[in-house]
Amino acid sequence: MLTLRCILTTQVKRLVCRPVGRISMQHRMSTSPHPVAAVCQVTATPDKEANFSACKQLVEEAKQGGACMVFLPEGFDYIGSSREETLSLSESLAGDTISRYSQLARTEDVWLSLGGFHERGHDWENDRRIYNCHIIMNDKGDIVSVYRKSHLFDVELPGRGVLLKESAFTIPGPSLLPPVQTPVGKVGLGICYDLRFPELSLALQRHGAEILTYPSAFTVATGAAHWEILLRARAIETQCFVLAAAQVGRHHEKRSSYGHALAVDPWGAVLGDCGGESTGVTLVEIDLEKVRDTRRNMPVQQHRRDTSFYRSLEQS
């Protein structure tokens, strides 16, 4: 597997991961005064064992690079080639896959964002439906938060080769969750299509989020048109860091993903981009003073009117 890494400097505002083999010891970032997050890009297939091996290697190399929290994309466990395969490979949170990631978190002493796990639903035996869930796991291997995707991707784009109906087998999550305190800051959780709904990101920001994360598997067509624009918009409007792990490349004969796992700062500048071709990881320093400075210098939230003002059109 080709491994990629971004070397961050204060002079460069946009970086693309480059093939460098394994992360070299001289480039370790563990001496940074700020915590380091690793945003990963993978190519999941229906082969769960191969997927775990690939993700495990990225987690190990992220730790070697000084990361204290590693972000994996939607479908990190697998991407099935059919509805039947997707359902048959699903597990509960108590299953083997999450158990293995729990052990990995303990072994590597890192927090994990596991975005887009195929979790068997609450009435699995009767309806054979799943949740698309985002798990935050601490460095002891304990699950500290589980967010279930709120907005399901039911989209048909004639002429662009996009036809997906997530609701055919997925249950929408019942609610948002409060941001989670992690070693890199307070993280607000979303998944992929949630990115298109600014109400979600603003709600998380109002409840204290300093970082928003959208683990994703964007299609090539929608990614090329909207991915970076949406991520930067969410960062600008909330004045948060945005970390978006991504799937890339061909998963099977029916599906490919756009890639370009991104890290964006609170001003909307892209700090790291894993490109659209290969698996890899980008390491980013999370300086929360940037959040505070941006919000102090441009106090958008203080200028926001009360809820009734924005609903006044509905009442007229």
Cα end-to-end distance, the chain, whole Å: 59
Whether the Cβ atoms of residue 212 and residue 204 lie closer than 8 Å to each other: yes
Rounded Cα distance between 293 and 278, Å, is 35
Whether the Cβ atoms of residue 224 and residue 236 lie closer than 8 Å to each other: no
| Catalytic residue check, 48 | no
Rounded Cα distance between 29 and 133, Å, is 30
Q: Which of 35, 112, 27 is nearest to 285 (CA)?
A: 35
Instruction: Classify the C-alpha dihedral 64-66-72-73 as positive or negative.
Output: negative
| Catalytic residue check, 74 | yes
17, 55, 133, 192: which is the annotated catalytic residue? 192
| Catalytic residue check, 192 | yes
149, 210, 240, 274: which is the annotated catalytic residue? 149
SS3 220: helix
User: Which residue's structure tokens are 């991104």?
Assistant: 262
Rounded Cα distance between 197 and 234, Å, is 9
In sequence order, which residues have a C-beta less than 8 Å from that of residue 85 and are 6 or more positions away? 46
Rounded Cα distance between 170 and 120, Å, is 9
Rounded Cα distance between 259 and 217, Å, is 8
74, 108, 210, 285: which is the annotated catalytic residue? 74
Whether the Cβ atoms of residue 236 and residue 267 lie closer than 8 Å to each other: yes
Residue 272 has phi, psi (to 5 degrees) of -155, 145
Rounded Cα distance between 167 and 208, Å, is 30
Active centre residues (catalytic): 74, 149, 192
